Amino acid sequence: MNGIKDIRIGAKLVALVALMGVLLLSSAFLMGSTVSRINENYQRINKYDTQAAFDAVQAGQAFSEARGSLTRYLFRVDPAERQKIAEEMAAQDKAHG
């Protein structure tokens, strides 16, 4: 410890400022590389996963429409109404098909 006491105050301050500069530069470099990785991951997610999510939403909507049509068909008693709903379901199948 005597070695540190013998160093002048100015030299200690310069060494401290230099150490803080090295720490600052290393943290800035790590932050830059982290931001770069985050950007790459975001681009990958945006490119591939967004399309999958969009397709899943469309499939969910199609299933919901089909379920609603089938439910209306099953709860109708009148054969003419059932035939009309069956024709609508066939038209929806052709449209989505």
Q: Taking the model in full, what pTM does it have?
A: 0.44
DSSP label at 53?
A: H
The mean pLDDT values, 10 residues at a time, for the chain of 97 residues are 73 92 95 92 84 87 85 86 86 75
> Identity (one letter) of the amino acid at 58?
Q
Task: Give the pLDDT score at 29.
Answer: 94
62 close to 96: Cβ distance less than 8 angstroms: yes
Domain ranges for the chain, please list them.
2-96
pLDDT at 2: 65
pLDDT at 31: 94
Amino acid at 28: A
63, 29 Cβ separation under 8 angstroms:
no
pLDDT of residue 1: 52
